Structure formats: C-alpha cells, structure tokens
Copies of this chain bind each other. A is one copy, B any other.
Amino acid sequence: MSDLPNFVSINEEGPREGFQIEPGPISTADKIKLINALSETGLKNIQACSFVNPRLVPGWADAEAVVEGFTAAEGIKYTGLYFNGNGLDRAMKYQGKLTLSGSISLTASEGFTKKNLNRSHAENVAAMKRQASLHLDNKINVNRIGIMAAFGCNYQGDITPEVVINTLKDGMTIAEETGSEITVFSLADTMGWAAPHRIERVIGEVRSQWPEMEISLHLHDTRGLAVANAYAGLKMGIRSFDTTVGGLGGCPFAGQPKAAGNICTEELVLLCEELGIETGVDLDALIEVGRLAEDIVGHQLPGELIHAGSLDAFRRNIEQ
C-alpha cells in the first residue's frame, strides 16, 4: 500500500449537489446554515451553489441570496457551479467571496451529452472552447478538464479507457487552442458504473499518457461501490476527491430519481483516517453536519456514520 497518499484534499459538494435534487423546496436560510456549519469542520473546499438555469434546476433559483448570506471563513475556497456565459456572469458578481476558476467539462458518453446537455460531443467541444476563452478574457484561470460518465453510462453502457483518453485529448486541444494551463483532470462516475478494477485501469491509462497530471475523482454511490472505488483510487495515489456530506445528491438527469448520491464525505474521511491518511477534517464535527443535513432535507440520508458515529468517538469513550 505504498502508493497511499499522506494527505487527501476533499472538495465538499453537498450544498450544490444536494439541493439541486431534493424534491421539497429547501429554504435559503437552511442552505446558508449548512454552508456555515461545513465551514467549521476543517473542510477547505466547499462548492456552495449552482448558477444554473432556474427553470432547469429550480432548487438553485436562490443562488445569489445564498452566496450573499453565508459567512466566508478564512482559508476556505468557496466555489459555484455554472455551465455557460450567463452562469459565469452571475458568479463573477461574487468574485472574492467565491473563488472562480474555469473547467473544460466534457462527457465520455455521447448519449449522456445529448440527454444532459442536448448537444452532440462536437457541439460541446465548440461550446467549451468558447467558455474557456470567455474565462481567459475575464482573467479567470482555466486549469481543469472534467470528464463526466468516465466509467460508464446509463444511456450508452460501458465506457472504455480509450474513449476517456480521447475525450481528455479533445479537452487538451481546447486548452492549447485557448491557452488554458491544465493542472487537474477530474474523472466523474456520474451514474455509478465504476468498479475498483475499472478505476485502476482508467487511472493507469490516463497516467501513462499524462504522467504529471493531478487526477481527481468524483464518485457516485449509485450502486453501493463508491467507497471501494475510492479505496482503489487511494491505492493508486489519488489525493483529491469530490464528496457530499451525508451522501447528499444524485444526478437529476440520469433517469434514476431514487438512486443514491455522491460518495459520502464522512465515509471517505473515516476510510482515510483508518488508513492513516490526513484530511484536515474533524470527523465528529462533520457527522454533526450530516445530521443537520438530514434534518434539513427531512428524510434519511445514505451516510451511515450519521447513525453509527465515528470510531474515534467510541475509542475516546472507552479510554475514559
């Protein structure tokens, strides 16, 4: 297990992922409360909101009010998600409080691109080129290529590592043509098709093409394998993960409204702690935020630690 990293960086996406899919309206005040609570756990990266079309994602119609309302803590990078120039304009009004950086977002599945974005892959490449230029024109770095459905797709089935590589190459071409300096590839298991060997193969093949590139994993627990997949990633030295507190979330466009959300932040932190990997996160504080998230959404969340508690809490009790 010599490739395990010493430190894992967690990008908490609970507020953004979680509140886009909940059927009940979540109040602006509750969203702010969750972000403020997350800011007290040691997390250093929090995706706070989504500047998407309110007609498509009504749960984020109050993005501006949320950003205005939460209290930015020092040392934490707060980000917002957006997909187009209009979203960028909205986000730029909060530059400073939000850390803005651009991403070239492509999908390894043409089927999902059509379903999710109503575009062909070629149209998406053109759109992402415009989007990257728009960022650079506004003096905002574009340092990341994100690949959705990198391990499989409900609409297209298994995705080979070759397709992921080709999609990344398309992203790198956009980067070259626009002058974007890419430092991170984010590979997303958007619909829960990954299994540990698939994680190993894709990461292995991406690494052999781009040995120096940082790879970040965005895992969904749709079929219960997210933690095993994260473990496979950790063993390959992956040190950056997107997660959601309590396992909030799910993909509203993947055709499975009741499916589980992202890998749960608490479970990844527990796994890391037990493996001796630092995360900087206070797990017991985070579990309390998971409980708050469960109260806010008003139904049981998939995160198991909300109900079981951390191992360290038991260890401390036993020592006393």
Contact = CB atoms under 8 A, between A and B. Distances in A.
Copy count, this protein chain: 2
B305 A1 contact: no
Interface string A60-89: 000000000000000000000000000000
A120 to B, nearest CB: 18
Contacts of A156: 318
A267 B223 contact: yes
A303 to B, nearest CB: 7
Interface in A123-165: 152, 154-158
B224 A267 contact: yes
Interface stretch (A5-13, A167-175, A227-235): A227-235
Given A197-B1, A314-B157, A305 B224 contact: yes
B304 A271 contact: no
A156 B311 CA distance: 11
A28 B135 CA distance: 65
Contacts of A230: 228
Interface in A299-320: 300, 302-305, 307-311, 314-315, 318-319
A181 B197 CA distance: 37
A259 interface: yes
B274 A221 contact: no
Contacts of A264: 224
A256 B311 contact: no
A271 B311 contact: no
A222 interface: yes
Nearest to A4: B197
Given A195-B270, A196-B231, A196-B271, 16 more contacts: A154-B314, A157-B314, A192-B308, A193-B311, A195-B275, A196-B275, A224-B264, A224-B267, A225-B227, A225-B274, A228-B228, A228-B231, A259-B308, A260-B308, A300-B300, A302-B304
22 contacts: A156-B318, A192-B304, A195-B274, A196-B231, A197-B274, A198-B274, A222-B308, A224-B227, A224-B305, A225-B227, A225-B274, A228-B230, A228-B231, A228-B271, A256-B307, A256-B308, A256-B309, A258-B307, A258-B308, A300-B300, A302-B302, A302-B304
